[in-house]
Structures are given as C-alpha cells and as structure tokens.
Amino acid sequence: MAEKIIILDFGSQYTQLIGRSLREFNVYCEIIPFNKQIEMANDVKGIILSGSPFSVNEKDHPKIDFAGFGNLPVLGICYGAQLMAKAFGGTVEKSDKREYGRSHLHLEKKSLLLDDVNQDSNVWMSHSDTITKIPDGFSITGSTPQIPVAAFEIADQGKKFFGLQFHPEVYHSEEGKKILKNFLTKICHCKCDWTPEHFINDTVSHIKNQVGNGEVIMALSGGVDSTVAAVLIHKAIGNRLHGIFVDHGLLRRNEFEQVLHSYKNMGLNVKGVNASEQFYTKLKGHSEPELKRKIIGGTFIEVFDKEARSLKGIEFLGQGTIYPDVIESVSVHGPSVTIKSHHNVGGLPAHMNLKLIEPLRMLFKDEVRRVGTELGIPSEILNRHPFPGPGLAIRILGEVTPDKVDILQRADDIFITELQKSGLYATVWQAGVILLPVKSVGVMGDERTYESTVALRAVTSVDGMTADWAKLDYDFLGHVSNEIINRVKGVNRVVFDISSKPPATIEWE
C-alpha cells in the first residue's frame, strides 16, 4: 500500500486544491470529512487540516482531537492553524477587518517547513479571525505586515505541529508549493514514489485479485475517464472486459465510427450498439429539458441491460468514476439543490446485481490524463473536451428530431474543426454549438430566407464548476460564422454566447 497523507476537510473551498498539490509531488493523499474516523495505519505519514468558513470562536464550530494523531506531523492551514493554536492554549480573536487576497510573508525564524523559502514572498490570505497569542512552547516563524502570526510551529521532543495562516495551496502563494513539499519530504519523510507507473501496477494487480476469473461489463462513452478505466481493466483481465459503446444518435458527427475505431486499435473488446432509432422514438414530442434527460438516462439503461443479459456470467460493472465525484464534502450551506440531473447512468437496475470496479475512484482529472499517457492512450482521446452524457439532445432546445440533430452535427463539426485547425482547441475547456428554437429572416443571393439560429459556446474552466466564456478572436468567430451559414442548410444566423457560469451554465439545458 502506498504511503499517504490525510487531509481533514473543514469545508474550505480550497481543500481539493491541497489534495491536487500533494499529488503533484507524487504523494498519495485522501480527503476525509473532519468528523469521520480515520484509520491510523502505518502508511499514514502526516495530517493536514484544511481551512473552513467557520470561526473557532463560534459555539458549534468543527473540532478534532489532536491527541488522536499520535506522533504524526500535523500541518494546519488557516482555520486548521487557528484550531491548533486554540487547542494548545493560544488565543484566536476576530480581526478588525477580514483579510482577503495577497499579503506579504516575512520569515522570522529558521524552520524546516519554511526551509529554502524566500525571506519575503507573496502569500494568499482568506480569514476573518487571527491568532493573537501562540501556545506556550510554540514559536512564530513568519509574519505579514497585517498580522504577527502568519506561521508558527513546535518541532521538538516528538511534537511536530505547524500552522499557516495563509493558503500555501493557492497559486498566488508564490512559495506555497515549496512549503508543501518541505512538509512532505523534510517533515513527513514521504518517498514521493506514487507515480502513474506505480498506480498502474498496483491497480492492475488489485483488479486481477478482485475479479479472479470473473467477467466485467462496462459502458464506454469515448470520454477520457471511461477509456482510461477500461484500458486499466483490460490490462488486468484482457477480453473478459466487455465494453459497450452505445450510439444514442446524439453524438457528434462521425464520432461513433471514429471512437469505435480507436477502441479497436487499442485492443479493447468493445461492442458498438446503434440504438439511435430507439432514442429518437422515445424523445419524440418531448421538449422539457429535465424530461429529455430522464428519457435518455432510462433508455440508456434499457439498452445496456439488454446487452448485459445477452452475455453470460457477468458479475462486475466497470465505471470511470473519478475522485471529485466521490469526495464527501463537508456541507456548509445545507444540502445542495439540483440544478440539472447530471450523469446519464443514473444508477442501474438493482436486479443486475453487479459489483463495482472503479479503478479511477481516487484520481483527479489531471492524474487520469497522466495515467492515460503512461498507458499509451492516443492524445485525441486524452485531450478531448468533456461532452455531456445526454449529448446533443441538451444542445437542441425543445424537441429533438433527426433533422435537427443533423443540422447541429454539421454546425458543431465546423466549429470544432476550425478550433483545431487554428490551434485554439486546447485553449478552451469545452466548446460546442447550440441549436436555438428561433427562426429569423435573412437574405441569401436574391432570396429571402427564414431559417434557424445557432449559438457558439466556448468556455474556459478548471473543473466545469465555474466557467468563463472564451474570448475568441473576432476574425476567427467571423470565419466560423461564414462557414456555418454557407455550408449548413437550414441555418442563416450565428450568435456567440458571452455568459459565464454562474449565473449561466455551460450547457443550455
């Protein structure tokens, strides 16, 4: 088992960033809600306490028992540092003003945590409480012009507690990565050997043990996660992995054939199932977005279930679930509301009774790509934009018909091809075209036209949770507009979506 760092989450917006930063140093870490029991096995090398929107002076603030960490090194960040200060007898008080944004760290004393860090550097602050007195025996190792205690620690007689008032995990903390690396290597003595290669070897042998002589079925979508997961499972059990790639008739132009071809080239045992007619029939007459999503999800399960029944002796279901889908978040604002019912495979029927194989369950998206590269998966699959499970159905506003799908596929193909040709594809996080239920008057040659409008959508984002519209060059947009209007029959107007998320979303439905 790989050595690991436990990150206890108190609900900070930056907790996942801490995890991603540690993984960059090839150290395995797990994010766990602060109130969950942790198993203190030998492989745990250190603990990190995250920030939090709570104040340690609030009545029911989140707490932990420091004695439970034994002799392990503990790094508290922001709220974590304040909790540490308070637990050992220091004082935390409300500051006169909330300190948010860039500040300037000045080193006060030699410290292993701050080893090799510049004497003065910018750091990122986000707090409204401040530590006014550190516990006895601790010393201050860093300060800023606003606060005397920006970094403090005790590192002797078996005690290894470190507190940082700023956020080393945030990009704007110039020396943040170095500080986290010091914690990992100089304090926790991590070997930093959790490389993609290490992960692949461990995972493949784990799958072999789990599956034995069994058979696995898995739905593939052409996306990064399901492909990387399938290649890992295939490496472990070969053709006993049965991939199913369903064409719901809502994929991009020629995508079904292209992706199926790539799968075959990778040696995967995948069956392509063309179920377009079944999906179109079910969608006929429906225009309400949530209903369309539910119909697609339900039909998908029907198709998949039928394929599974035709195979004998399947016991396992492979899935490309990744870490952000499974991290239990600490709820700060109560249960979240459903904005859209995401994710097409919204649960398989219980009668299928399959055991899950989810090899990517503990990986962040960028790590999935690193593993995919190590596995030799072609870059056109690894670097693809995300694409929604319900496909073009949620980019055709209103009722979906085969004719509309055809128009949208043609327009979308032009936009994506032009992005690729001009080298812009990799600079946007996701792009696509939306077919609007709006007809307008135009003139082509000498003739009046009355045809559809399409919207181009391109966004920049890190994880799809928030997004900004991509500032594409006007000449480029003009060229794409001309190409679409000239080449796609049925479209006479192109507009560009300049909304960010929030308040808009990336998809239109």
Write out the catalytic residue numbers: 78, 167, 169
- In the complex, least distance from residue 235 CB atom to ligand XMP, rounded to whole angstroms: 25
Query: What residues numbered 417-476 form the site for ligand XMP, per CB under 6 A?
Result: 430, 464
CA distance 91 to 208: 53
Question: Comparing C-alpha atoms, which of 211, 216, 302, 222 is closest to residue 255?
Answer: 222
Asked if 344 touches ligand XMP (CB under 6 A), the answer is yes
Asked if 340 touches ligand XMP (CB under 6 A), the answer is yes
Asked if 198 touches ligand XMP (CB under 6 A), the answer is no
Strand order in the sheet with 151-154: 28-33, 4-9, 44-49, 74-77, 161-164, 151-154, 139-143, 91-107, 120-133
Looking at beta carbons only, is 152 or 508 nearer to ligand XMP? 508
Asked if 386 touches ligand XMP (CB under 6 A), the answer is yes
Contact predicate 22/15, CB 8 Å: no
Structure tokens at 84: 């540490």
CA distance 57 to 76: 17
Looking at beta carbons only, is 67 or 339 nearer to ligand XMP? 339
First to last CA, the chain: 43
Asked if 342 touches ligand XMP (CB under 6 A), the answer is yes
Looking at beta carbons only, is 343 or 355 nearer to ligand XMP? 343
Looking at beta carbons only, is 11 or 390 nearer to ligand XMP? 390
Asked if 507 touches ligand XMP (CB under 6 A), the answer is yes
- Total number of residues that touch ligand XMP (CB under 6 A): 15
The one segment of 35-43, 164-172, 441-449, 499-507 that binds ligand XMP by CB under 6 A: 499-507
Question: Comparing C-alpha atoms, which of 15, 35, 64, 49 is closest to residue 161?
Answer: 49
Looking at beta carbons only, is 453 or 499 nearer to ligand XMP? 499
The one segment of 126-134, 323-331, 366-374, 501-509 that binds ligand XMP by CB under 6 A: 501-509
How long, in residues, is the chain? 509
CA distance 34 to 165: 19
For 70-131, where are the alpha helices, taking DSSP H only? 79-87
Asked if 384 touches ligand XMP (CB under 6 A), the answer is no
Burial tier of 88 (Cβ tally within 10 Å: 0-12, 13-18, 19+): middle
H/E segment holding residue 163: strand 161-164
- In the complex, least distance from residue 162 CB atom to ligand XMP, rounded to whole angstroms: 37
> Which residue of 36, 343, 471, 487 would you call a contact of ligand XMP, by CB under 6 A?
343
Residue located via tokens 């900070």 = 12
> Which residue of 5, 229, 231, 506 would you call a contact of ligand XMP, by CB under 6 A?
506
Query: What residues numbered 281-310 form the site for ligand XMP, per CB under 6 A?
Result: 293
Query: What residues numbered 388-417 form the site for ligand XMP, per CB under 6 A?
Result: 388-390
Residue 291: strand, helix, or coil: helix
Residue located via tokens 């399901």 = 226
- In the complex, least distance from residue 293 CB atom to ligand XMP, rounded to whole angstroms: 6
For residue 2, what is the DSSP state?
Answer: -
Query: What residues numbered 19-48 form the site for ligand XMP, per CB under 6 A?
Result: none
Looking at beta carbons only, is 57 or 505 nearer to ligand XMP? 505
Contact predicate 382/224, CB 8 Å: yes
Structure tokens at 79: 């709220």
Binding-site ranges for ligand XMP (CB under 6 A): 293, 340, 342-344, 386, 388-390, 430, 464, 501, 505-507
